[in-house]
Amino acid sequence: MKVGIYVQPARYKELTGVGRHIRKLIEHLPLASERSDQFLLYYPSVGREDLGFTVPDNRFQPRPVRVPSNWEGSRPNLWWNWRLPISVLADRLDVFHGPSHYLPRSLHKRTVTTIHDLAYFQMSVHSPGHDELQRRLTLTSLKRAGKVIALSENTKRDVLALDFPDDRVDVIYGGGDIAGEDTIQENRWTEVADRYDIDAPYILFVGSINQRKNVPHLIQAFARLIKDRNHPHLLVVVGGDGGGLQEARQVASECGCADRVRFTGFIDDWERPLIFRHADIFGFPSKYEGFTLVTIEAMAYGIPVVAIDSSSVTEGVGNAARLVKTDESEDFASEMNLVLGSRELANEMVREGKKQAQKFSWESNARATMSLYQSLAGH
């Protein structure tokens, strides 16, 4: 079987959740596939750019598709809807997978797209124009898709609400980006702590700093925690600016806790497990998620999770986290205070969290995805 996968989001140096998802899928497909299977990895190329990440074996072949030098942007409309389909059809694929919401035109129905979340149908995520474009492209891609992978039951419900047939949506959970114990560079923790000025125990957030991630709410709760309960903690915010960094900094200043909040920006992959493992709490105030892989990571690394009870968060954390039922920062602060004030509670959350995290793996994701490819291809 010959499968094509669009991989541009996995090529960025500063990976978002979609890019990590694509890399993890590719990393684990070898154990779920046959030696005769081939995987062509499509991306736009102006010159001779490398793929940008390591593939598991020679069954995975980079497939750069040229972008004329006078075309602007990494995925212009002409490339996406003309250049890419021509290459895909010429390669005579059995299945084409667009793992980041979108599919190009003029392909056969043996196509699958992965929907990570549909937040831009539920709320303002970017600018009004950008959100409208994403809605339009998503609806068009759903019309083109033979199958849809939804990352959670919550996301599946959102897809079905767009009048997509139930029998063409498969829920396939991902796993966290969990480093093997033998790869974690614990001896470099002091280096990481010095780099990001982490000189006290801390509460951690990891994710893009944008409106739906609701970081200002976490900052307000944190300010209450350290003022009213006299905890010595820092708040460490890891992630790129998705349009909300300025507001987050302003809220920290207004709350009088700016000197206790660390905005790290993107961090290196080797630093990620260290940042997780040394946190006392993972705080997750997001208003809407397709699926919360980052909470799976936190639980796998042994960190108690406190989160707002919204969208698919409960699907991921089960009964292992403290879920806040309201949007009051005082309630979020109270839940964090409970965890910090009770070693017994924190230890129980760590035990339950590790068990919960084991329910989600990239091995099972790859097997289910490969099975979907085979059914689409008629194998």
204-234 per-position pLDDT tens digit? 999 999 888 999 999 999 999 999 888 999 9
**Residue 69, pLDDT score:** 67
**Structural domains in the chain?**
2-174+361-377 (3.40.50.2000), 181-357 (3.40.50.2000)
Question: pLDDT tens-digit profile of 90-127?
Answer: 999 999 999 999 999 877 789 999 999 998 888 777 77
Given a cut of 60, whether residue 134 has pLDDT beyond it is yes
How far from the centroid of its chain's Cα atoms is residue 247's Cα? 22
Close Cβ partners of 288 (under 8 Å, ≥ 6 residues apart):
117, 119, 122, 123, 212, 310, 311
- What is the arithmetic mean of pLDDT over 237-256? 96
Question: pLDDT tens-digit profile of 328-340?
Answer: 999 999 999 999 9
**Three-class secondary structure assignment of 164-223:** CCHHHEEECCCCCCCCCHHHCCHHHHHHHHHHCCCCCCEEEEECCECHHHCHHHHHHHHH
The pTM of this model reads: 0.89
Q: How far apart are the first and last CA of the chain?
A: 8
**Residue 310, pLDDT score:** 81
